[in-house]
Amino acid sequence: MGETLCGNLDWLPQMMWLIRTGQEEVCFNRSWRMYTGSEATETGRAGWLAWVHAEDRARASQLWKQAQESGLTFDVECRLRSVSGEYRWFLFHIQPGDSEEGTVWCGSCVDIHEKRLRGEAQARQLEVQTEMLDASIDCIKIINRDGTLRHMNRSGCLALGVAEGESGFGMKWLELLPAEVRKRGSRALASARRGRSARFTGRSVISGEKPREWDNVLTPMRGEDNEITGILCVSREVTLEREAEKRLRMASEVDALTGLPNRRIFRARLNRMIDKSRQSGQVFGLMLFDLDYFKHVNDTMGHIAGDHLLRELSRRLASALTGGDIAVRLGGDEFAVVLGNVADAEAVQSKAEDLLSRMSRPVTYRGRPIHWGVSAGCAMFPADGGDAQLLMRCADMALNDLKTSRRGGVLMYSRSMQQAMEQAATERAVAREIVREDFVEPHYQPKVRLKDGVTVGFEALLRWRRGDESFQPASTVAEAFRDYQLATGIGQSMLGKVLRDIQEWKQQRLQVMPVSINVSPMEFLYDDFAESLLARLDEFQIEPSLIEIEITEQVLAERGSGYAVRALRMLKKAGVRIALDDFGTGYSSFKHLSEYPVDCLKIDRSFIARMAEEPGILKIVQAILQMGPHLSLEVQAEGIETGRQRAMLYRAGCSIGQGFLWGGVLTAEQVTAHLAWADEE
């Protein structure tokens, strides 16, 4: 090869070589020789390939052979051995040229070692990042600004049903989403393009698999110039969380025992029903009901039997509902039913009675019948209540009114119930004022011997008044005696003033006669009534024989009766007499009279008023008067207003009575005068 051509190469800074086609002699320039340590010319079949790394030589040799055959230029990256034996990466550019002596091949080399190492490091880093992304259970996608996919990890491919090799070919990301989710996805993508992170929920559906719920977060990716270069979308599967939320929501809205909706969801459904009815103009009914004697079922058969009853009744109730009906368990043995598709109150009553009839079929538990009843109160929307709260209150008033008067069946709300409730509230308010201001003032009605009209004792009657107003009887605040605090407050005030009057009569050395004091059932609910009364008698230095406690049959039949019986026995043992007032109108049976600590029966005034005109009532009065002595009980009559009544009672064997026949009730001062007169006589 010409020395002039080879010599010219020495002036070039690049590493270069020349070789003529068909020859083995290679001419290397100074830069090549300084790096490789070769001679100016080398002869051999390997030629320039002799300094190429063994791992790169086969590929470079193949390209070199193909180029010589085709006469085409080619580039190849190879590691080249230096004079020190180290290898560095070079980019070879080899091209043919024509000369007088034939085709000459010229090769030039550019050192790309650092660049190649950086590329390899970046490739390794990208590989690690890709492996990390593929290891993530989250679906990670890199989206171009135009909405096409740049990259998607393995989890994303699996979730969207895309083959992993197809994840970076520019497919539209939104088109991979289910149709119902795309609108939300489009809004999120638009927000991310504007530089704001966005979030949306959605689901993926792959044929043959269960739908999967996803929480998707889109975050804009920015370059060094702060320009948005892409969008990172991280989708986390929340299927289990959504299912757990659904279970929790159901648990919070469904009664675990019966499977019916519970109180929490009932108000929302009732309000929706009200809104719907307002729009359509249709009416509907609300029924509240509870089980009668349910506590007795739990007490006698166990709570398992009670739960069995609730489940069975709930099943019957749910199966009996028709379109537009809603049934819920409010708690305990209380239920509510919205009755739709009804025209009027009669239809509500009929539908409610039909439901109760279906539920009232016999239920057994372990072969034993369960005995219970159902009481229901109903109200109409919008006639009775125009909103959920008022409608519930009206139905509840009907239920309470039903259970107060009787048990079992259905009762529709009426305006009179509201009036009764308002009256009761007024009475309670007045009673609070009586207790607070100490308006109680006892009056006394004489008890007389029917034979000669001689006074033998008194009954203390509750009266109250404000300032100079006229005295009012206890019946004006009857509702107070259903409330423990009010009943005990009034009762204690009354007792204290009666004992004070007796004390004053004793101090005046008058012949004091026994005084009867009425005690309401509420006053026995705390188990210290007897101890408290005896302590007060001791405080006022009054003999127990001067006091008679009057109770109604209700005391011995309702809750707290155990307390009452214990208290009455203690009082009787101490010498206090016990009288059963209003006898014949309540719950007691003759069988139990001998078991109760009672000394006296007082025939109710309603019998006395009717016995002169109704032979049947007279026979009842005569039977009570005949029965008393056989049970070692004294029998008295109250409400005697005519001489004829006195005569009939006396002939029937009654010896003691009281009533307006002998005048009105007396104040404490009038009793003082009466006792003084009796002493003189």
pTM (predicted TM-score):
0.57
pLDDT class of 178 with cuts at 50, 70, 90: confident
Distance of CA 102 to the CA centre of its chain: 98
Peptide bond into 382 cis (omega under 30): yes
Phi, psi (rounded to 5 degrees) for 554: -60, -35
Mention every residue, 6+ apart, whose C-beta is less than 8 A from residue 83: 34, 35, 36, 37
- The stretch 37-44 carries a mean pLDDT of 77
pLDDT at 613: 93
Could you give the C-alpha distances from 52 to 14, 79, 87, 90, 373, in angstroms and in order?
17, 6, 9, 10, 103
Highest mean pLDDT among 97-106, 119-128, 303-312, 521-530: 303-312
Q: Give the Cα separation of 533 and 572 in Å (integer).
A: 12
Domain regions of the chain by residue span: 3-111, 129-242, 254-413, 443-680
DSSP 636-657: EEE---SHHHHHHHHHHT--EE
β-bridge mates for residue 18, sequence order: 27, 106
Fold exhibited by the domain 129-242: Beta-Lactamase (3.30.450)
Q: Which residue has the higher pLDDT, 592 or 444?
A: 444
In 3D space, the residue among 431, 418, 416, 336 whose CA is nearest the CA of residue 377 turns out to be: 336
Mean pLDDT of the residues in the chain: 88
Q: What is the dihedral of CA 129, 135, 139, 142, to 10 degrees?
A: 10
Quick one: pLDDT at residue 80? 94
Cα–Cα distances (Å) from 595 to 592, 598, 632, in that order, read 5, 8, 12
The rounded distance, in Å, linking the Cα atoms of 292 and 403 is 9
Rounded CA-CA distance 59/53 in Å is 11
Q: Return the pLDDT at 164.
A: 63
CATH number of 3-111: 3.30.450.20
Cα–Cα dist 123/225, whole Å: 24
Class in CATH terms, 254-413: alpha beta
Closest CA to 658 of 674, 637, 627: 637
* Cα(624)–Cα(134) distance, integer angstroms: 97
User: Of 179, 182, 166, 327, which Cα lies nearest the Cα of 260?
Assistant: 327
Span of 169-178, 284-293, 494-503, 572-581 with lowest mean pLDDT: 169-178
Q: Residue 557 has what pLDDT?
A: 67
Check residue 618 and give its pLDDT: 94
> How high is the pLDDT of residue 473?
93
| Cα 304 off chain centre by | 23
Residue 448, pLDDT > 60, answer: yes
Check residue 148 and report its DSSP letter.
B
The CATH number of the structural domain formed by 443-680 is 3.20.20.450
- Fold match flag (129-242 vs 443-680): no
Per-residue CA distances from 337 to 133, 159, 249, 270, 425 (Å)? 55, 45, 21, 10, 28
What pLDDT sits at residue 485? Answer: 92
Distance CA 660, CA 38 (A): 149
User: What whole-number distance in Å separates Cα of residue 179 and Cα of residue 186?
Assistant: 11
Encoded tokens for 599: 């000394």
